[in-house]
Amino acid sequence: MKVIKGSWKGDMTDYLGKDIFKLGFGLMRLPKLEDGSIDVEQVKVMADKFIAAGGKYFDSAYLYDGGGSERAFKEAVVDRYPRDAYYIATKLSAAIGVSDEESAKNEFNISLERTGAGYFDFYLLHGIQNNNISKYDEYGIWDYVKGLKEQGLVKHYGFSFHGTPELLDELLSKHPDVDFVQLQINYADWEDERVASRRCYEVVRKHNKPLTVMEPIKGGKLANPADMIKDVFQKANPDASCASWAVRFVASLDGIITVLSGMSNIEQMEDNLSYMKDFKPLSEDERKVIEEVQRILKDDKQIKCTACHYCTEGCPMSIPIPEIFSLKNQQILFSLSDEQLRRDYMFATHNRGKASDCIECGQCEGACPQHLTIIDLLKTCRSME
Ligand code: SF4
Ligand code: SF4
């Protein structure tokens, strides 16, 4: 892979990743078998279709599926393709599941062993936000990753980010050699005050850095939005899926290396490839359609949970927070019957905690990249019990 020095210049004629296929394969929500393990055979088929269409960028993390994601990537891609057929990005977390500097730094070695990739094309400090940045500084992770780059074990380094635009500006001023940034961007969060997609994007542009994008479909939600939103998209183009509008919105922004879609089955891969294979940026008329949908969403009362599960790991009451929020959203959007809702709620909380079991310890709120007021929101979900 050509290493472009200096990253993205303002005129956008040349920047890191300019020529990379604009759909990236996110390995966060891989298909599962009934026993809960990853369906590697299905991942192989998905990877084959992706690479055959021109895809190269795979995105994993030390934390995804307890290492299962990186191992599945090895089986599906590394063991079956030459090294120059793909780019692999993975991430080191100094904030979740680590207690000291040594274990944080050792994540790199474990990821290298799990993937068998030999080196990482893209390597990220994982999920930086305002309440965990101190860990990355305290453990010297910035210098550690820069050292890995000097050794050629990492080709490009960056960080994924869930904090405020102000912190982002500070970090990019402090670390001007960062090669790229990964942001959560989608049309629904563009003007959202907590996620602040637009403002964060503008900070990255100001620092002339290219971006990879996560959650373009907002954890799958924008693939199946409320009927009133579906109607707007259907009217504009009956042949385009709702997901295609979401991914193309993000891929049409300047300075994008690739847009990561966390695909969970072959159908999602096929749908994504159908419009990204010969990607065309949104036209002026299509932008207006997105603006209309954004106006509708402004009034939306849904809980803005992306189902990342960062909150559940340390919950002392084992409450399936994202599953409960998802049911609440379905109640808001689809007017489910009480009977149906209770059945789904019982299923989601079977052998686990219920919303009313919350002891308000606050652990989950500190871990939530969406800064949701989880404790209060769970109170609104008790009516489903
Ligand atoms: S505040 Fe409630 S939901 Fe959050 S971690 Fe504590 S017990 Fe679990
Ligand atoms: S509540 Fe927050 S941390 Fe938990 S799954 Fe939803 S977005 Fe993630």
Q: Please report the pLDDT score of residue 188 as a whole number.
A: 85
3-state secondary structure of 364: helix
Average pLDDT along the chain: 91
The mean-pLDDT minimum among 144-153, 164-173, 215-224, 251-260 falls in 215-224
By mean pLDDT, which of 104-108, 114-118, 348-352 is the weakest? Answer: 348-352
The residue nearest atom 8 of ligand 1, judged by CA position, is: 315
Q: What mean pLDDT is predicted for residues 180-185?
A: 96
Of 92, 97, 15, 20, which Cα lies nearest the Cα of 58? 20
Q: For 158-172, write each residue's pLDDT tens digit.
A: 999 998 899 999 999
Could you give the 3-state DSSP secondary structure of residue 270? Answer: helix
Q: Is the pLDDT of residue 289 over 60?
A: yes
| Residues 6 or more apart in contact with residue 73 via CB below 8 angstroms | 27, 43, 58, 60, 88, 115
Whether residue 346 has its Cβ less than 6 Å from ligand 1:
no
Q: What is the distance between the alpha carbons of residues 69 and 55, in angstroms, rounded to a whole number?
A: 18
DSSP lists the bridge partners of residue 38 as 32
Q: Report the SS3 class of residue 58.
A: strand
- How buried is 337 (Cβ within 10 angstroms: 0-12 exposed, 13-18 middle, 19+ buried)? exposed
Q: What is the pLDDT of residue 47?
A: 98
130-157 mean pLDDT: 96
pLDDT at 192: 74
Who's near 265: CB < 8 A, 6+ residues apart?
Answer: 31, 42, 46
Ligand 1 and 104: CB distance under 6 A: no
Span 245-255, average pLDDT? 95
Atom 7 of ligand 1: nearest residue by CA position: 358
Residue 373 in this model has a pLDDT that exceeds 50: yes
Report the pLDDT averaged over residues 179-202.
Answer: 89
What pLDDT was estimated at residue 3?
37
Measured between alpha carbons, how far is 201 from 204 in angstroms, rounded to an integer? 5
What are the residue ranges of helices labelled H in the chain? 40-52, 68-73, 101-115, 133-138, 141-150, 165-174, 197-206, 227-236, 242-251, 266-276, 284-298, 321-334, 338-349, 363-367, 374-381
- Residue 180: the pLDDT is 97
> How much is the pLDDT for 147?
97
Q: Using 50, 70 and 90 to split pLDDT, how confident is the model at 194?
A: low
More confident residue, 228 or 24: 24
Number of separate helices (H) and strands (E) present in the chain: 15, 8
Highest mean pLDDT among 97-101, 254-258, 306-310: 254-258
Local confidence band at 259 (pLDDT 50, 70, 90 cut-offs): very high
d(CA 55, CA 48): 9
Summarised one tens digit per residue, pLDDT across range 45-66 is: 999 999 999 999 999 999 999 9
Mean pLDDT lowest among 258-272, 296-310, 323-337: 323-337
260 within ligand 1 shell (Cβ under 6 A): no
Hunting for tokens 């009133």 — which residue is that? 228
Measured over the CA atoms of residue 125, residue 127, residue 128 and residue 134, the dihedral's sign is negative
Average pLDDT over residues 98-112: 95
Give the pLDDT score at 12: 47
**Which of 313, 324, 359 to mutate to test ligand 1, by most ligand atoms within 8 A of the CB atom?**
359
% residues pLDDT > 70 (the chain): 94
pLDDT at 11 over 50: no
Q: How confident is the model at residue 13 (pLDDT cuts 50, 70, 90)?
A: low
Place of tokens 């629904």: 188
Q: Which atom of ligand 2 is nearest to the CA of 312?
A: 4
Task: Give residue 227's pLDDT.
Answer: 81
What is the pTM for the complete model shown? 0.77
Q: Which tens digits make up the pLDDT trace of 353-362?
A: 999 999 999 9
**Number of residues written out for the chain:** 385
Ligand 1 atom with the smallest distance to the CA of 375 is 1
Calpha distance 159→178 (Å, rounded): 8
Instruction: Estimate the crossing angle of helix 284-298 against helix 242-251, to 10 degrees.
Output: 110
